[in-house]
Amino acid sequence: MPTFQPPSTPAQDDLLTESRWAEHPLSGFGLVFQITQRAGQLQFTQASASAQMVCGLSAEALLRSSSSFVGRIHVADQPDFHASLQASALHGEPWNWEGRILTEGEIKWINIRAAITRPGVAQAQWDGIMINISHARRREADLRDMAAHMEQAREQERARLARDMHDELGQLLTALKMDISLLRRRLGPDDAQLNSMSSLVDAATAAGRRVAAQLRPAVLDLGLTEGLTWLAEQFTQRYSVPVAHRLDNAGPLDDMTAIQIFRIAQEAFTNIARHAQACSVRFTLGRMPGLIALDIMDDGRGFTSQTQASQTSFGLRGMRERAHLLGGTLECISTPGQGTSIHLRVPCAD
């Protein structure tokens, strides 16, 4: 990215004039600035005339005091702002920060990208651009809300299908089983065809229950911890792979959060069954103030980044999207021959 190189001009020329800024190649994107740090104190030494449009402050106000800008940074984003600035100063790396600022009547999202130089000892100088990205952030929020709505609709449809399968199909198969019992009284208990029909009905009943449970496990209505315990037991029963689990009480959670965490775990176990060739799995769920932590680790064959891009990427991508819907993060760590671990962190109310 091109960086702004301020001209060597007298102090009265520190404020870029409207005409000079209009000629700058970055003028259509945001606020071009220069900021210095001496003895821990910040000072804007250059600011383009578009400052008012980007951060709600005039260029003159920025040049008078950097605190006028820093004071407008959202309180939740201030620690990250200062940490990223000091990390850039410490390591001499470009400064890249994104966060919220409070302007008259609205909250704006801005992105700062700047190159660092050191004009003197104990002094750092950044030349860069500040861009208003509020529109993009709002679009992201709208898309996230739409994705959450669609996911909720899918879960409701799954629940409806599970109920229909359990109730209607279950009733039909039960009635068929009763008819076979009546026929057995007439034809005798050793009729081979009736015994075959009875076995098929039993298999269909078991398959219907299994599919209904995959769509929406009834045990999930008892809570996330109970649902995850059932998931681990079903995995061991179906694939003969032991699952060592320590699942703390997840506490009260809204339905959307509980379902998404369950689906992430379900997808993780599906990936283990399909790809890992694991001999054992470890599974933990913990709740701490403001956070739910889910960890799933297997001792399978693992995979490389190239393997991840080919065969498991859609599963992992879906898991990350679910985590993103909850405002959380999902990390996947894998080493060929040593297994894979999934670490999910989801914020929650205390």
Q: What is the per-residue pLDDT across 142-178, written as a single tens digit (0 to 9) for each?
A: 777 776 677 777 777 777 777 777 777 778 888 888 8
CATH 3.30.450.20 domain range(s) in the chain: 11-132
How many other C-beta atoms lie within 10 A of the C-beta of residue 86?
Answer: 14
Check: CB of residue 124 under 8 Å from CB of residue 118. yes
Q: How is domain 218-350 classified at the architecture level of CATH?
A: 2-Layer Sandwich (3.30)
What is the pLDDT, as a whole number, of residue 343? 94
3-class DSSP assignment, residue 327: coil
Distances (CA, A) of 88 to 84, 91, 95, 217: 6, 5, 5, 49
Q: Give the class (CATH, top level) of 11-132.
A: alpha beta
Pick the closest to residue 315 from 259, 274, 262 (CA basis).
Answer: 274
What is the pLDDT, as a whole number, of residue 306? 60
Sheet (strand 41-47) strand order: 41-47, 30-38, 123-132, 106-117, 95-103
Residue 168: burial class (beta carbons within 10 Å; 0-12, 13-18, 19+): exposed
pLDDT of 303 strictly over 70: yes
CATH 3.30.565.10 domain range(s) in the chain: 218-350
What is the pLDDT, as a whole number, of residue 148? 67
Helices (H), 165-254: 170-187, 192-215, 224-239
CA distance 222 to 229: 11
**Topology of 134-216 in CATH?**
Helix Hairpins (1.10.287)
Which segment of 39-43, 217-221, 240-244, 280-284 scores lowest on mean pLDDT? 217-221
Hey, CA dihedral for 333, 331, 93, 113, is it positive or negative? positive
CATH 1.10.287 domain range(s) in the chain: 134-216
CA distance 213 to 216: 5
DSSP bridge pairs for 109: 100
